[in-house]
Structure 1
Amino acid sequence: MSDTAAAQDVFHFGPFVLDLHRGTLVKGSTPVFLRPKAHALLVYLARNMGRIVPKAELMDVVWPGVYVTEDSLTQSIREIRKELDDQEQIRTVSRRGYMLVGSPRVAEEPNGRPIVAVLRFRNESGDPQREPIVDGFAEDIITGLGHSGSVTVLARNSSFQFPSQEPSAWADAASRIGADFLVEGSVRWSGEDALVSVTLVDGRKLQQLWGQRYEAHDVELFSVQREIGEQIVNRLVSRLDEATLQRAALRPAQSLEAYELVTRALAILRGQEHVEPEKALPLLEMAIARDPSYGVAYAHLAYCKFSMRRYDEVDHKALEDILLIAIRAATLAPGSAVPPRVMAVVRLYLRNHAAAEGDLRSALSLNRYDADSIEQMGYLMAMRGRPLDALAWIDRAARLNPIVPPWYHFDRALALYGLGEYQAAAEALQLPPRRQLWHRARLAACYAQLNDHERCSRELEAVFEAFPNYPLVWIAREQMPYERPEDIDHLVEGFTKALGLAGRPLGREH
């Protein structure tokens, strides 16, 4: 048996190790003995660790072709708990099933690596049209540092909350986002020539460690980005893996104009209030016309097209066409984590969950500290019915992105709802200052599960006041990319209860 195959047959949960190849269950060095049916039940729960397994599924697997009542299942669960001497290791989720609680495999922790925050660079050109390209320049430094694997880089959302400025502001930035080191800088243009100034700051001592000025003409700017990343890493670690640096040397755009068009499109796609992908689409198409080999532009084009169709009727042909664009992006930019991340989200909505997970793991192998990919893995785990795994991934993303974006709370709420922790899910949904109708509908479902008639009705009335025929049950069944029908049914159950409390019909059905 290969090491990989053997590892797949060994499960760790709490102080216990279940080895299917050897047929053993041990606590430390002490064997734990279970009767055959209880052992088979534990094995199946271990193979689905972190997932809520319905009672009917467990009974079909452990007692195939035999009619038994739930009492047999309950008795076996009781036996396992007694032998494990732990009532919490196997969790009962009311009316849904059982789940074995273990430690999911998440992205690698920093392990003492320096934590670096690249602050938003100053645009000293005096031209606001240059703002996106200055942001893109700083963001690409973040990406390059993340590729190196030698430092932990905080996500753009958090570090860009603090513009590069006077030393008096360094302490606030370092303390609020927990960075050991800050990178601040500015870009100034004279025609097509750029003057870049960069400073590396010790976030604890609030001292400048290194500073440099660079001059670049047109696409030379991309070489400057890489050189800045190399010099920062060299000053923060004693050894630098040349192989990871080579991998970090992504093929840049061949046209600064194409690069600027992409950065302008991203500024639209990342809008805080209302994202309008239809406005970003022509910019991305123009960027590709300027540089047909610009792989990352194709990746963002694919995501833009996906965003425009996300809340429409599911059109598999359209999604497959979008996936082909993302695959082309991956071919043109094999060292970038963006194309596989986009491929993952499209495959998820094509209901190809295993392939989506594979894409995300590919993205993380390229950039293990990409908070967007890590958080997206959390969402995927929620859609695969693995809520504990989802929470672990989202927590990991939040450590890299300490000023948490709204969607982290929304995705955390999905995982908590899946666990039946409706109060915690409602609290997560309430954290963002603004919620769309879909999030208010989900909040109503949480309150309905808690039998909180007043709050449920208030949220639901707000939804129907804005959209009288809002098809929340249809959206749950047709638009939410859950892998397992029982998870869809669980969400529909909440909406059905909410509609009942409000005295409203179910609405649009399929």
Structure 2
Amino acid sequence: MTKGRIERRLAVIMATDIVGSSRLMEADEGRTLEAIKRLHACIFCPIIDAHGGRIAKLMEDGALVAFNSAIDAVECAISLQKELAHDQKELPSDERIVLRIGINLADVVIEGDDLLGDGVNVAARLEASAEPGGICIADVVHRQLGGKCRTAFFDGGEILLKNIAKPAHVWRWKKAPVAAPSASFVPARTSIAVLPFENLCSSPDQSFFSDGITEDIIGGLARFRSLSVIAANSSFRFRGKNTPLREIGRKLGVTYLVEGSIRRSGERIRITAQLIEGASGTHLWSEHYDRDVTDIFAVQDDVRMIVSTLIGHIESADLRQVMRKPTTSLAAYEFYLRGLVHMRGYGADDNRQAREMFLAAVERDPQFALARAHLALATIALNGYANAPSPILDEALALARQAVALDEGESGCQRLLALIHVNRREFELAERHYRRAHQLNPNDTNTLVQMGGLLARRGKLQEAMEWIDEGYRLNPFPPWYSAALGNALYILGRYEDAAAALKELPNPGPFTCARLVACYAQAGNTNATETAKAQLLQICPDFSTEDFIRRGLLLERPEQLELFRQGLLKAGLPA
């Protein structure tokens, strides 16, 4: 049975939202609620009434409003932004209430006092793409405007709206306080909230344990400085409330949500975790972990694995989302993410494109430390890594040091500075920065595996394998990890295992092929040796063992260099 009359009609929908409402609530919930209540009474509702709008849904941090006229809706939006800016101008910038507004014209379903339909979703997406203090309107709305209103907007081109398949042609208010995304607007970091894990234990007083697990996961995610992590006192507000996940994601203003449960039965405990896309409520990943409750260290390991796995899935989802967006709408963070895509690629032009993307990110935000650190990496990658000319290696070192100076607490910057030192054969400095990176973020599996690779080069083989094994345990699938593993296994004399690891690498170059030849020769596998040797000489006809030892190996100990030399000469390759 329906709650009220249902009708369908053409309407102009205005969606509004308070920018950073979660941050304002967390800073001072009482003050923020009082300020919003006053603004509703003194500015919001009177201006909407004066322009003939009907509030279909009014929330603490936003509203849906229906108009019969596009001109009325747009004039209302402009008045709201001007009056609000005037009202808030005396407040400190971190206490101001700022709106984003999106306006669409579409056929909607009116159910009671509510507005439903795809047109409403598009209005909400337009609002999300507006600048703080700005207005973003659909092209169909702009066409309905008179001359005065129409000239108040500039053409924002076509953009992709989240979870909307067809690109939307948008127009943006010229007097918005910041520039449009196509120019210099930098999107916020990827944001995530961890909801309190549900206590499924038979005893309700065990909720302290599920809360502890939740806060451990929040703390682990917060170590990744590329993430904005909502504090527990905000996400825990939704405990016990039957609030839809999409609504929670909107209220907290996050890209992703994590939810889960803790079930304890006797001496066994099961932790279940799920990653959810905030805007759509779509489940992206789910896993459960079973442990003996008496083994608290194993439970802590599972928490670390949950954190690392979440990061991997978030990163992949972010990259997929960015690659769907048109290049003209990318800002610094999106250029950075595109750079990561190319940095992990194996195409002939990927290193050049990665450097261009990171350079574009740094140009748009010179304070973006991670982008600058990756620009250092791309610079040496484009020029042969350790074989790059000295000026290139010096340039990369300067960039990496600048990145660390910009954000000393970012583990990724420390890790990439360490990697630059490795390629400069400055192994002691590299180890120092890897250890600093690990102190800052023990969940970063790239640091674990790269540190293992360095320790193997330095002859610390047992410790090297412990670092690499831990990296694989937390993140078992990245293909490039096989390079560090294969190198360490070869030095350990486990030639067949080393070959198996190296064969996991996609698109192997001459140096990887040479390592495979050495592995098979040392293992005594004649057929595999000849096959690998033929492949190597096909891509590198002028191969020489001495050149490989000099240019292809970053090893600190002479006996390790000799071990590779023996393998290559045993295969019959030229000295």
Instruction: Tell me the TM-score normalized by structure 2.
Output: 0.46
Q: Secondary structure at the match of 2:331?
A: helix
Question: What corresponds to 1:249 in structure 2?
Answer: none
Are residues 1:364 and 2:433 paired? no
- Taking a change above 3 Å as real, the CA distance of residues 127 and 376 of structure 1, as seen in their structure-2 partners, is farther
> How far did residue 263 of structure 1 move?
1.3
Letter in structure 2 aligned against 1:289: E
Are residues 1:324 and 2:383 paired? no
Are residues 1:437 and 2:476 paired? no
> How far did residue 286 of structure 1 move?
1.9
Question: What corresponds to 1:116 in structure 2?
Answer: none
Kindly provide the CA deviation profile for residues 310-331 of structure 1, in whole angstroms up to 9, marking residues without a partner as x: 3574533321221111010011
Letter in structure 2 aligned against 1:285: L
Question: How far apart in 1 are the matches of 2:257 and 2:214?
Answer: 18
Question: How far apart in 2 are the matches of 1:392 and 1:441?
Answer: 26
> How far did residue 290 of structure 1 move?
1.5
Q: Is the contact between residue 191 and residue 254 of structure 2 (CA under 8 Å) also seen in structure 1?
A: no
Question: How far apart in 2 are the matches of 1:377 and 1:293?
Answer: 27
Question: What corresponds to 1:373 in structure 2?
Answer: 447
Q: Secondary structure at the match of 1:198?
A: strand
Root-mean-square deviation over aligned CA pairs:
4.5
Q: Is the contact between residue 256 and residue 275 of structure 2 (CA under 8 Å) also seen in structure 1?
A: no
Question: How far apart in 2 are the matches of 1:428 and 1:211?
Answer: 33
Q: Is the contact between residue 284 and residue 301 of structure 1 (CA under 8 Å) also seen in structure 2?
A: yes
Kindly provide the CA deviation profile for residues 160-217 of structure 1, in whole angstroms up to 9, marking residues without a partner as x: xxxxxxxxxxxxxxxxxxxxxxxxx999xx9xxx8746342349879889989689xx
Question: What corresponds to 1:505 in structure 2?
Answer: 574
1:398 to 472, 479, 483: 472
Q: Superposition pairs for residues 164-243 of structure 1, below 5 Å?
A: 196=255, 198-202=257-261
**What count of residue pairs does the alignment treat as equivalent?**
307
Unaligned runs of 5+ in 1: 1-121, 157-184, 216-235, 238-254
Q: Is the contact between residue 473 and residue 495 of structure 1 (CA under 8 Å) also seen in structure 2?
A: no
Kindly provide the CA deviation profile for residues 324-372 of structure 1, in whole angstroms up to 9, marking residues without a partner as x: 1101001111221111111111111222111100000111111111000
Q: Secondary structure at the match of 1:201?
A: strand
- Taking a change above 3 Å as real, the CA distance of residues 473 and 140 of structure 1, as seen in their structure-2 partners, is farther
Q: Is the contact between residue 418 and residue 487 of structure 1 (CA under 8 Å) also seen in structure 2?
A: yes
Of all paired residues, the percent bearing the same amino acid is 29
- Taking a change above 3 Å as real, the CA distance of residues 257 and 304 of structure 1, as seen in their structure-2 partners, is same
Larger Rg: 2
Question: What corresponds to 1:176 in structure 2?
Answer: none
> How far did residue 296 of structure 1 move?
1.5
Question: What corresponds to 1:66 in structure 2?
Answer: none
> How far did residue 470 of structure 1 move?
3.2
Q: Superposition pairs for residues 399-438 of structure 1, below 5 Å?
A: 399-402=473-476, 404-432=477-505, 435-438=508-511
Question: How far apart in 2 are the matches of 1:461 and 1:203?
Answer: 55
1:124 to 158, 163, 184: 163
Q: Secondary structure at the match of 2:480?
A: helix
Instruction: Tell me the TM-score normalized by structure 1.
Output: 0.52
Are residues 1:267 and 2:341 paired? yes
Q: Superposition pairs for residues 24-423 of structure 1, below 5 Å?
A: 124-126=163-165, 137=190, 196=255, 198-202=257-261, 257-271=331-345, 276-311=350-385, 313-402=387-476, 404-423=477-496
**Which 10-residue stretch deviates more, 288-297 or 304-313?**
304-313
Question: How far apart in 2 are the matches of 1:265 and 1:207?
Answer: 33
1:468 to 537, 541, 546: 541
Question: How far apart in 1 are the matches of 2:552 and 2:467?
Answer: 23
Question: What corresponds to 2:555 in structure 1?
Answer: 482
Letter in structure 2 aligned against 1:477: R
**Which 10-residue stretch deviates more, 279-288 or 264-273?**
264-273
Question: How far apart in 2 are the matches of 1:211 and 1:315?
Answer: 46
Question: How far apart in 2 are the matches of 1:446 and 1:209?
Answer: 41
> How far did residue 264 of structure 1 move?
1.4
Q: Is the contact between residue 147 and residue 366 of structure 1 (CA under 8 Å) also seen in structure 2?
A: no
- Structure with the greater relative contact order (CA < 8 A, sep ≥ 6): 1 or 2? 1
Q: Is the contact between residue 443 and residue 459 of structure 1 (CA under 8 Å) also seen in structure 2?
A: yes
Kindly provide the CA deviation profile for residues 224-279 of structure 1, in whole angstroms up to 9, marking residues without a partner as x: xxxxxxxxxxxx99xxxxxxxxxxxxxxxxx9821111111112112266671201
Question: How far apart in 1 are the matches of 2:417 and 2:562?
Answer: 27
Q: Secondary structure at the match of 2:451?
A: helix
Q: Is the contact between residue 192 and residue 257 of structure 2 (CA under 8 Å) also seen in structure 1?
A: no
Kindly provide the CA deviation profile for residues 422-441 of structure 1, in whole angstroms up to 9, marking residues without a partner as x: 22222322345653332222
Q: Is the contact between residue 314 and residue 479 of structure 1 (CA under 8 Å) also seen in structure 2?
A: no
- Taking a change above 3 Å as real, the CA distance of residues 138 and 126 of structure 1, as seen in their structure-2 partners, is farther
Q: Is the contact between residue 186 and residue 196 of structure 1 (CA under 8 Å) also seen in structure 2?
A: no
Are residues 1:491 and 2:564 paired? yes
Question: What corresponds to 1:219 in structure 2?
Answer: none
Letter in structure 1 aligned against 2:483: F
**Which 10-residue stretch deviates more, 263-272 or 388-397?**
263-272
> How far did residue 484 of structure 1 move?
1.6
Q: Secondary structure at the match of 2:257?
A: strand
- Taking a change above 3 Å as real, the CA distance of residues 338 and 497 of structure 1, as seen in their structure-2 partners, is same
- Taking a change above 3 Å as real, the CA distance of residues 136 and 428 of structure 1, as seen in their structure-2 partners, is farther
Question: How far apart in 1 are the matches of 2:419 and 2:356?
Answer: 22
Question: How far apart in 2 are the matches of 1:476 and 1:465?
Answer: 19
Kindly provide the CA deviation profile for residues 107-143 of structure 1, in whole angstroms up to 9, marking residues without a partner as x: xxxxxxxxxxxxxxx952437999xx999737999xx
Question: How far apart in 2 are the matches of 1:459 and 1:210?
Answer: 43
> How far did residue 481 of structure 1 move?
1.6
> How far did residue 472 of structure 1 move?
4.9
Letter in structure 2 aligned against 1:457: E
- Taking a change above 3 Å as real, the CA distance of residues 152 and 128 of structure 1, as seen in their structure-2 partners, is farther
